[in-house]
């Protein structure tokens, strides 16, 4: 049998198409490895072995009949446990939904199934997607595969770890304030937060509805583009999805970035960890050799981002979680964890009479200014590059006693969600054997451009080839 470990979507798809391996063989191998590694990493909450094998057998039959198939056909993937999956337990990482089994699939899950992807299972996460570390799961914390004494980032912790540890070939995630990009940076994988409305939110257990973006994790930039080709698009079940034409995101991915202007916002480099800054500088040097033009830009309202985010987001959280009263879904609200209670209380207070104008309305005005900062900058440059995280993956319990310090983990990511624009995390080196990432940010619906820049850097740097020793 061909070597199956460490495959990208592109590599696995070629093997399947050439009939050198079967989808059933591939999926069975990944399920076996996922279960074995899960004992240490805690990346999965639920496995879907029967569903995955049934789908793989169906794909093998279609291939024997010489049917034209998607590049994702037969590819093992995982879904963050906040994605509704028909007949498969979906908990959102919370004991409130400990026994909840949906009767329908989220739109993204349905599209992946239609493309022939095979679901290995549902991945661990901070409960209700509330967290930056993966420590707020009501079940057990996910561990970073590069150092299991450290966090993998959150809230899409399990999906990032499952992709990095090769338990699956790709995984879905959600990003409300950095919940794809931060774990992608901490786990040395590619993670996309698309433009708000580019991918349907239907069937996602809502956190903060005006901020939630639906993306995914892959080993390479090319793979990431392949997945977006399937998941993007208008959905009649989600009124916030855009009717704009979907690009073929792999079309120009190999095109040189020469001549593109890359903006560096000074606000994102002030007080930055010296070694992380060095890794970003090295990455920029690679892009300069490839012909990009580096320019300084300013995003003056950056400093208000985290405060603004942590007014708007808890306000929407308090509204979305009000439905979990034990009548319609799961157990009652006594099962909420500490972080969920904290956000509900903060959001309810912010929206209460006498405080709405002082806090929520003011935050919405600042949100508009933050978006305008980006719009102005993109008149000068094509993309913006910043660090994804201001710190390396930190030790478990290092920040749990100080919520404010934990919230500052998202200092470089929240403004992108407030602005609604896309951002791509690409691995950019290691410090003391711990991964670092840079984010490539673009204007609305510029995912194709982000992939072009990210792919060009990735193919020279090759950081995706450095895998955890498990």
Rounded-to-integer distance, Cα 460 and Cα 464, Å: 11
Return the CA Rg of the chain: 21
Nearest Cα residue to 34 out of 159, 215, 156, 125: 159
Q: Which H or E element spans position 348?
A: helix 338-351
Catalytically annotated residue among 13, 43, 155, 213: 155
Contact present, 87 and 101 (Cβ < 8 Å): yes
Residue 470 and residue 165 in contact, taking contact as beta carbons nearer than 8 Å: yes
Measured CA distances, 32 to 4, 70, 90, 110, 139 (Å): 12, 24, 22, 24, 22
Catalytic position from the list 80, 95, 111, 143: 80
155 labelled catalytic: yes
Catalytic residue among 84, 132, 159, 179: 179
Pairing of strands 44-47, 190-193: unpaired
Catalytic-residue membership of 179: yes
175 pairs with which residues across the strands?
213
- Beta-strand ranges (E) seen in 366-450 are 383-387, 423-431, 434-441
According to DSSP, the β-strands at 118-123 and 76-80 are parallel
Query: Active-site residues: which are they?
Result: 80, 155, 179
């Amino acid at each position: 049998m061909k070597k199956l470990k460490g495959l990208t979507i592109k590599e696995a798809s070629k093997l399947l198409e050439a009939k050198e391996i079967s989808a059933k063989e591939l999926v069975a191998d990944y399920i076996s490895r996922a279960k074995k590694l899960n004992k240490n990493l805690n990346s999965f909450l639920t496995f879907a072995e029967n569903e995955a094998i049934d789908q793989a057998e169906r794909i093998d039959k279609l291939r024997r009949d010489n049917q034209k198939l998607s590049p994702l056909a037969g590819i093992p993937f995982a879904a963050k446990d906040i994605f509704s999956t028909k007949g498969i337990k979906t908990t959102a990482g919370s004991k409130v939904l400990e026994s909840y089994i949906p009767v329908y699939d989220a739109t993204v899950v349905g599209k992946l199934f239609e493309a022939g992807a095979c679901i290995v299972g549902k991945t661990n996460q901070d409960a209700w997607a509330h967290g930056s570390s993966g420590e707020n799961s009501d079940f057990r914390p996910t561990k970073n595969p590069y150092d299991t004494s450290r966090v993998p980032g959150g809230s899409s912790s399990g999906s990032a770890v499952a992709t990095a540890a090769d338990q699956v070939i790709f995984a879905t995630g959600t990003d409300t304030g950095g919940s794809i990009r931060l774990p992608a940076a901490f786990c040395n994988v590619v993670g996309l937060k698309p433009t708000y409305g580019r991918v349907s939110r239907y069937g996602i257990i809502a956190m903060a509805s005006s901020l939630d973006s639906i993306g995914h994790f892959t080993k390479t930039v090319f793979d990431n583009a392949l997945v977006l080709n399937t998941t993007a698009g208008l959905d009649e079940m989600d009124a916030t999805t855009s009717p704009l034409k979907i690009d073929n995101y792999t079309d120009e991915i190999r095109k040189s970035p020469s001549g593109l202007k890359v903006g560096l916002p000074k606000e994102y480099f002030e007080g930055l960890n010296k070694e992380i800054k060095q890794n970003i500088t090295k990455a920029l040097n690679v892009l300069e050799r490839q012909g990009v033009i580096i320019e300084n830009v300013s995003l003056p309202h950056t400093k208000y981002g985290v405060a603004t985010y942590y007014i708007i987001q808890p306000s929407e959280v308090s509204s979305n979680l009000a439905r979990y009263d034990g009548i319609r879904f799961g157990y009652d609200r006594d099962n909420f964890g500490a972080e969920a209670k904290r956000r509900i209380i903060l959001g309810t207070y912010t929206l209460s009479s006498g405080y709405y104008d002082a806090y929520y309305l003011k935050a919405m005005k600042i949100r508009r200014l933050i978006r305008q900062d980006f719009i102005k900058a993109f008149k000068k440059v094509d993309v913006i590059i910043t660090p994804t995280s201001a710190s390396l993956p930190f030790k478990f319990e290092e920040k749990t006693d100080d919520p404010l310090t934990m919230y500052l983990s998202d200092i470089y990511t929240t403004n992108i969600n407030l602005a609604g624009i896309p951002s791509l995390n690409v691995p950019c080196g290691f410090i003391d054997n711990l991964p670092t990432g840079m984010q490539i940010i673009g204007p609305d619906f510029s995912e194709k451009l982000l992939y072009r820049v990210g792919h060009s850097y990735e193919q020279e740097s090759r950081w995706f080839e450095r895998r955890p020793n498990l």
